[in-house]
Amino acid sequence: MKYSSLSETKNRLSALIDEVREGATILVLDRGLPVARIEPVVGGTPGAPGRLERLERKGLMRRALEPEGSAMPLRRPIKAKGGASALAALLAEREDGR
């Protein structure tokens, strides 16, 4: 549980409400005495409805184009031809001083 003074709550109400939407509970104190508690109305689960929309509007994320659970098919790793070695190439590069 987070604590917030009355003046801090007035000044940062929007930010505190965002925290509550994410599941936090905030106890509001007036001169050190608890006077109110701000808590989520719907269960307080992280990722509550509206959070993804806010992140999209802020440009902090984009939703996947594919539906959830449709993973990319796995492919076998590409093998080097003719016995080439990434380690040998790295060591050669270090010896050349590049």
Give the model confidence (pLDDT) of 3-62 as tens digits.
999 999 999 999 999 898 888 899 999 999 999 999 988 644 555 566 777 788 888 888
The superfamily (CATH) of domain 1-62 is: YefM-like domain (3.40.1620.10)
More confident residue, 87 or 68: 87
Alpha-carbon distances, residue 18 vs 6, 8, 12, 27, 62 (angstroms): 17, 15, 10, 15, 19
More confident residue, 80 or 86: 86
Rounded distance, CA 97 to CA 63, Å? 44
Predicted pLDDT at 44? 44
Tokens of residue 72, six digits: 């990319």
Predicted pLDDT at 37? 94
CB proximity list for 5: less than 8 A, separation 6 or greater: 28, 29, 30
Predicted pLDDT at 8? 95
Beta strands in 1-98 (DSSP E): 2-5, 26-30, 33-38
